[in-house]
Amino acid sequence: MDPRLVPISKFLAKHLRHAPGEIGLTLDGEGWAGVDELLAASARHGFAIAYDDLVAVVETNDKRRYAFDATGDRIRAVQGHSVAVDLGLEPREPPETLWHGTVERFLTSIFERGLVPGTRRHVHLSADVETARKVGARRGRPAILQVAAGRMHRDGLTFYRSENGVWLVDAVPSGYLSRMG
Ligand code: HQG
């Protein structure tokens, strides 16, 4: 992605996932904001975004974090919210194994309490080890947990997959976790 677009992507993450009210924006129940409203609200708050740059962020963002609706009139973050939204995702059967990247200092608590969502709506799991390693590395030296997703699913726990390929689940009890690296 063009480095010039990174601050725009971060601004969108903040306001489409966590703090729409801070710029006077309202998300609907599925997390959508009107594109015109978003651009106006951003400009009003001293962060004017050109429409073409918004499109470029949606299309070239490294993790495809944002999407327009079919008409192109609305935009939302495809995962990672802390505000209450229902993304309308259908339950899906996960692969037998998924991965979670974290850091050593959280492990004692994780093995006591399982993985919990913290401020977000879901626990985020990765389909491959490399992605989990990157997620963990945001906080320090990564510790990788293997998640027995197939067994969880057979035990009746529900999985979703966001549009950009992140697996989402309400929580992961510690009995489904093992340390991999
Ligand atoms: C930890 C980024 C103590 C958990 C990434 C994590 C991801 C516990 C942190 C997405 C715990 C929550 C999400 C427990 C979980 N005790 N710590 N019982 N249970 N934790 O940021 O998974 O770039 O909310 O291990 O790539 O790190 O923003 O979740 O370290 O996909 O698109 O609590 O965010 O995507 O942190 O990251 P987060 P995450 P974006």
**Fold observed for domain 95-179:** ADP-ribosylation fold (3.20.170)
Assess whether the C-beta atom of 162 lies below 6 angstroms from ligand 1.
no
**Separation of CA 116 and ligand 1 centre (Å):** 9
Assess whether the C-beta atom of 25 lies below 6 angstroms from ligand 1.
no
Domain limits of the chain?
3-77, 95-179
pLDDT at 1: 83
Range 39-45 average pLDDT: 98
| Neighbouring residues of 25: CB distance < 8 A, sequence distance ≥ 6 | 15, 33, 37, 38, 41
User: CA triplet 72, 24, 71: central angle to 5 degrees?
Assistant: 10
Structural domain 3-77, CATH architecture: Orthogonal Bundle (1.10)
**Separation of CA 50 and ligand 1 centre (Å):** 31
pLDDT confidence band for 181 (50 / 70 / 90): low
Q: CA 122 to CA 157: how far, in whole Å? A: 13
Cross-strand partners of 145: 100, 179
Q: Does the pLDDT of residue 144 top 70, yes or no?
A: yes
Q: Does the pLDDT of residue 16 top 70, yes or no?
A: yes
Range 88-112 average pLDDT: 98
pTM of the predicted model as reported, rounded to 2 decimal places: 0.91
